[in-house]
Amino acid sequence: MSKRALWLWGPWAAFALIALGWTVYWHAVAGEAERRIDAWTAAQREAGAQATVLRVVRHGFPTLMRLELQNISYASARGGWRAETARADLHINLLNPEHIKFEAEAPIALSRANGATTTVTADALIASLRTEGGVLAVAGLEADNLQLDDPAQEGVLLARKVVLNVRPDPRAQGAYQAAFDTQALTLPRPVRSFEAFGVDVAELRAAIVVEHSAALLNAAPQDPLGPWREANGRLRLEMLTLHWGPLQADGHGQGGLDSERRIEGNLEIPIERPAPVLSAIANGPEMDRDAKRALALLAAGYAISGDDITLDVEARDGWLRLEGLPVRRLPPVY
């Protein structure tokens, strides 16, 4: 072949080889992803769970990769809940296959052991996972206009924006950091003892450390958080920002469960204008009479003095206490 011909055909041959190599790589990554999906469902069934993906359809060649997963269902091996959806898309980063995104393309039905079902819908609902050498590096969830609707219960939970990120805590082995941020949250119904705060939460942000998180994987059907508690599992609330009704404050705290599976722990919330907050709590319809009087007196005192306060919210021995005053009894979480 002459030099002129080599210059003419050489670039085309190189392009063809690169295109062929990329095609082989694209389909190899897709095939490996599908094999992992099949292996995961098989492993779950072997462990006693129920996991199915009826069909996988490939999309996006040659520049992107999207696997359309049709008719997905999962039921925990230990019972207690089941999730089903008609479709979800799995997006794979071709330059880093350990980074994947899971996008819900249909409502998700979450069924609980008591037969109640919550339907989850959103304009966009995306979960992401990035691993390094098979170990979790970071996981996240982002939703726009999220709705949680339980037809058996009053009201619908709404949130304009929800962002959740989880990663290992580099400061402590076995602990995980969780960062949560939600904007324009509407609760399905008023919170007991805080009814006067209303159902609209303008902002809720939190930075949480989950200690001994591996024990959460050992959940039992009738006692899902028992192994975590027995492992001395605790939540450290390192930062809390809450704008809810009259309350606009930042705080911190810690908590867990007592032997009867009731919440125990405390929150410290500095408040610059405590009078409206204490008055709102005192005016709750289910407030204990003595606590109502004491909180009303505190509110009147702070209204006159104009002082700020660090509000102490404590859960102990089955009671919710504000500034040491018992407000109401706390039932077991489950």
Specify whether the CB–CB gap between 70 and 54 falls below 8 A.
yes
Q: Answer yes or no: is pLDDT of 306 > 90.
A: no
240 with 307, same domain? yes
Taking only the tens place, the pLDDT of each residue in 253-276 is: 999 999 999 999 999 999 988 999
* Secondary structure (3-state) at 54: strand
Q: Answer yes or no: is pLDDT of 288 > 90.
A: no
232 with 119, same domain? no
Number of structural domains in the chain? 2
Residues paired with residue 176 on neighbouring β-strands, in sequence order: 168, 210
Specify whether the CB–CB gap between 156 and 145 falls below 8 A.
no
Q: What is the enclosing helix (H) or strand (E) of 159?
A: strand 156-168
What pLDDT shows up at residue 319? 94
Cα torsion angle, 28, 32, 35, 37, sign:
negative
Model confidence at 227, in pLDDT bands (50, 70, 90)?
very high
163 with 281, same domain? yes
Domain end call among 96, 121, 144: 144
Map tokens 């995961």 to a residue: 40
Report the interhelical angle of 274-282 vs 289-305 (nearest 10°). Answer: 160
227 with 305, same domain? yes
Q: Which of 158-172, 195-209, 288-302 has the lowest mean pLDDT?
A: 288-302
149 falls within a domain: no
Domain span including residue 120: 1-144
How many other C-beta atoms can be found within 10 angstroms of the C-beta atom of residue 168? Answer: 16
175 with 311, same domain? yes
Kindly give, in sequence order, each residue whose CB lies less than 8 Å from that of residue 305, ignoring residues fewer than 6 positions away: none
- Chain centroid to Cα 4, Å, comes to 63
166 with 305, same domain? yes
Give the integer Cα–Cα distance in Å for 212 and 219: 13
Structure tokens at 290: 């003595």
Domain end call among 110, 144, 178: 144
What pLDDT shows up at residue 190? 92
% pLDDT > 70, the chain: 96
191 with 68, same domain? no
What pLDDT shows up at residue 10? 59
Q: What is the pTM of this model?
A: 0.83
328 falls within a domain: yes
Give the integer Cα–Cα distance in Å for 117 and 201: 24
Kindly give, in sequence order, each residue whose CB lies less than 8 Å from that of residue 16, ignoring residues fewer than 6 positions away: none
Q: Give the residue, 34 or 4, on which the prediction is more confident.
A: 34
| Mean pLDDT value across residues 230-251 | 94
| Mean pLDDT value across residues 322-327 | 86
Specify whether the CB–CB gap between 48 and 32 falls below 8 A.
no
What are the helix (H) ranges across the chain? 3-46, 226-230, 274-282, 289-305
Taking only the tens place, the pLDDT of each residue in 33-71 is: 999 999 999 999 998 889 999 999 999 998 899 999 999
- Chain centroid to Cα 200, Å, comes to 19
219 falls within a domain: yes
Domain end call among 144, 169, 195: 144
